[in-house]
Structure formats: structure tokens, C-alpha cells
Homo-oligomer: A and B are copies of this chain.
Amino acid sequence: MRALVYQGPRDVQVIDMPDAAIERATDVLVKVTSTNICGSDLHMYEGRTAMEPGRILGHENLGEVIEVGSAVDRVKVGDRVCVPFNVGCGFCENCEQGLSGFCLTANPGSAGAAYGFAGMGPYNGGQAEYLRVPYGDYNCLLLPRDAEEKENDYVMLADIFPTGYHATELAGVRPGESVVVYGAGPVGLMAAYSSVLKGASLVMVVDTHKDRLKLAEKMGAVAIDNTEDTGVEQIMELTGGKGADRGCECVGYQCCGMHKEEVPNLTMNNLVQTVKPAGRIGVVGVFVPEDPGAEDKLARRGQMAFDFGQFWFKGQSMGTGQANVKAYNRFLSRMIEHDKAKPSMIVSHELPLEQAPEAYKNFDERKKGWTKVVLKPGT
């Protein structure tokens, strides 16, 4: 099969690879019809991780079931399914509590597995013609009848829509509250969108990219253009000096300051400042336990100069980590089905799989207008 393979820093190629296949009785085999490039793919693309050359990337996958293992009960050949980026088993201590992003079975010795991801187990990604889905009954979300016509919406359920939503759950967003979201990349936009869908009264999105801020406004959020470093003041003014009820971090460790230099504690410390006393912060932007290539000395060993004193004094709280996609994808799917949500509004490009290398390059360069790419294997 054709597949997008990581070859080394900033080098990905579409080449022939052995076909994905059923390996265990609980596996499901999917013919991939949509597979996104994710911002976290860029961490690997840029060589900032321990990703092994030769592996297939892609963890935001949707397709048609073409074969099921002998012990698969629920999923049937012909079903259209969206596959969460997490690989979960469904029966470990974490999965049984809904923490499918911290599965203790799928990646022994660690908590959490994913397709085509550095340090998240041996699973191949889905930027390919076929994808093997382990524990298929647990990991496949069956899509409703309108799956084909809304495929670009449903494929967002694999990662970024639930991940943005997770930020708002970690932050505890409730109807009528105000929310500040740092980052207007795909995940930040989805966090803003989720806040709007939940009935927040005021959603503020901070970024410096004007095209992305425009998308935020389209979703019903207020754009906070931080180009002149006035974001904090704008937020305090909009909230009557009080700060937002809730905050979302959707940028991660590669956050950049005014002069394009990485300032890993910028968003977190701004959040502490712009969220109210006793407010809550959800962090879904990726932070890493070590980052040998970082400019910042603390960052190299995974540390951050965090405003802990202020955080404690304000009595704030914080939730972090990868989304447990299964905790949300079923109900978000119904919002798409009933036309209450349209996450595909952030899609900027639909491309054949063969053009993936070019797409990686443009997306990595934050080229204007490249918000979100959906690859279409087989076209």
C-alpha cells in the first residue's frame, strides 16, 4: 500500500509499504478515506522527537471497515468508522474509568498509545491506504448514515475536535462563563468552538496570525490580536478587570514570543494572569518531559519557570494532558449529525495522499491559509 513515511527531520515521503492486516482476533482493518495532518505531526516532522525513520505517520483517521477479526462483535464490514488517535484496550484500570488516553495495556511500561506517534507504541499511522485498528470494538466510532457527505466533519472527531473540547472540560467551562483560549491553531479553534457550543458568554482567542483569528471570529469568539503584546490588557478589559472564568492552553512547548524565539512559559504565565482567582485552566498544548534541542535551559530538562506563587495565591486549578477521545467523540458526533456543529469549517486543503510531503512543508512553515489539511488516500 502507499503510505506517508517519516525518513528523518523535515523529510517525509509517500512510498510503498506492506499492507496493513488483521493480526489479532480483536483487530479491525480500515480502508482509510480521510486522514489529517496534525500540529503534533510537526513535532515529529521537525525532528524534535525520538520518532524512528521508516514509520508511517497519521493519527487522525476515518474510513470503511473491510475486514474484522474473529472476536469482533460490534463493528461490521462496510461500517464507516472514525478512529480516535488513542489506542485503548477498554479493560485496564485507566480505560475502565474513561481514561482511554492513558491506556496501560496498549503501550506497556507507559500510559497511553497512539497511531504513528513517537513514544506511543508500535502502531502504524493512517496516512496510508489501510490501517489496522487494535481492540476494534473499543476503538472504532461507528458513524451515522450521513457519514460520507460530512466526512470532513466526522474526521475531526479523531483528534482535534475532542482535543479542543477536552481543553474546555479540563477547564470546566460552563454555560454563561467567559473563556480565554491561547492559540488559534486547529486545536485552539476547536477549544473556542467547543466553548461556544457549550454556551459560554464570552470566548476570547489569543494569537498573532490574522487569518486564524478571523476563523475564531467566524465561530463566535472575540479575536485578541497579540501582535503588539497587548493580549493580557485586552482580556482584562473585556472581563472588567476580573480575568476570565476559564482558560485553555492550546499552543504547547514551542510557544513563540514577540521575536519568534521560543518562550515555553509564555502562555501558562499569561493564563495565570488572565484567569480569575479560583478559575481553572485546561492544558492540551503538548509539553514534553525533555527537549534536548531547546534553546531554554530549563526546557531542555522539561522544566518551566512557572508563576507558581501567583497560581497558588489565586487558588487556581489546572488539568492537563492528551484527550481521552472516546470520552467525547460519541456525543460530538451527534452534534454533527444533527447539524449543531460543523468542525470542518477550519479545513483549508483537501489533497491526495501523494501530495502529503508538500502539505507537511507548507503546514510546518505556517504558510498563510494552511490551517488544516485533510489527505484523501485512494484519490
Copies in the complex: 4
A316 contacts the other chain (Cβ, under 8 Å)?
Answer: yes
Residues in chain B near residue A101, CB distance under 8 A: 315
The verdict on A98 contacting chain B, using a C-beta distance below 8 Å, is yes
- Neighbouring B residues of A91 by C-beta, 8 Å: 73-74, 90, 135, 137-138
A303 within 8 A of B: yes
Chain B residues with CB under 8 Å of A293's CB are none
A127 at the interface (CB under 8 A from B): no
Contact with B along A101-115 (1 / 0, CB 8 A): 110010000011000
The interface on chain A, measured as residues whose beta carbon lies within 8 A of the other chain's beta carbons, has a size of: 84
B-facing residues in A293-344 (Cβ within 8 Å): 298-299, 302-322, 326, 330-335, 337-338, 340
User: Is A170 located at the chain interface by the 8 A CB criterion?
Assistant: yes
Residues 80-99 (chain A) with a chain B CB within 8 angstroms: 89-94, 96-99
Proximity string of chain A (192-204) to chain B, C-beta cutoff 8 Å, 1 when within and 0 when not: 0010011111100
In the complex where A197-B199, A334-B176 touch, is A306 in contact with B309 (Cβ < 8 A)?
no
Once bound together, how far apart are the Cα atoms of A374 and B334, in whole Å? Answer: 37
List residues of A (227-285) whose CB comes within 8 Å of B's CBs.
253, 268, 276-278, 283
A71 within 8 A of B: yes
B331 near A277: Cβ-Cβ < 8 Å: no
A105 to B137, CA, bound (A): 11
A275-B117 Cα distance, complex, nearest whole Å? 25
Set B194, B202, B290, B313: member contacting A287, Cβ < 8 A: B313
Which residues from B are CB-within-8-Å of A299? 309
A7 at the interface (CB under 8 A from B): no
A70 on the B face (CB < 8 A): yes
Is A286 an interface position by the 8 A CB rule? yes
Q: Are B313 and A308 in contact (CB under 8 A)?
A: no
Tell me the nearest residue of chain B to A119, going by C-beta: B313
Q: Does chain B have a CB within 8 A of A352?
A: no
CA distance A320 to B99 in the complex (A): 23
B98 with A97: CB separation less than 8 A: yes
Contacts A288-B309, A310-B302: A317 and B315 contacting too (C-beta < 8 A)?
A: no
Indicate whether A35 reaches chain B with its CB closer than 8 angstroms: no
